[in-house]
Amino acid sequence: MFVLFLLCIVFLVCLSKGEFYEHLIEPSVMCYKCRKYHLGMCYEAMRSCVLKYQQTCAVKNIYLLTPKGRSMYFYSILSCMTNCEDINFLSFDKRTELICCKNKNYCNLPEGV
């Protein structure tokens, strides 16, 4: 019975294509978490989150569009996000920029905005 149990465990680990092993040896990456971040200050309590499987640190920059079509920085949202992709969204009155990173701890702090 014990041999059968061990065989099932080995089978499951082999099916994961090494992702299980990578998840165990991969060091934890910490990210900032804040629902409204502006000019170096979080307007709520600044928190942290630890990346889970398939997550990255994310910063969502919100810009307001002026009548002349220029972007004016409004605020940022800092978080841990699953299946994050760098992308820009454009609507009639605002532009949203999503930037993802996981190369180092707290990499989702907005720079230059």
pLDDT digits (tens, 9 = 90+) for 38-89: 989 999 999 999 999 999 999 999 999 999 989 999 999 999 999 999 999 9
Which pLDDT value is given to residue 2?
A: 57
Average per-residue pLDDT in the chain? 83
**Residues whose CB falls within 8 Å of the CB of residue 77, separated by 6 or more in sequence, listed in order:** 34, 35, 36, 37, 59, 60, 62
Give the bridge partners for 37, in sequence order. 42, 76
Give the bridge partners for 31, in sequence order. 49
Which pLDDT value is given to residue 99?
A: 96
Q: What are phi and psi of 10, to 5 degrees?
A: -60, -40
Which pLDDT value is given to residue 6?
A: 54
Which pLDDT value is given to residue 111?
A: 76
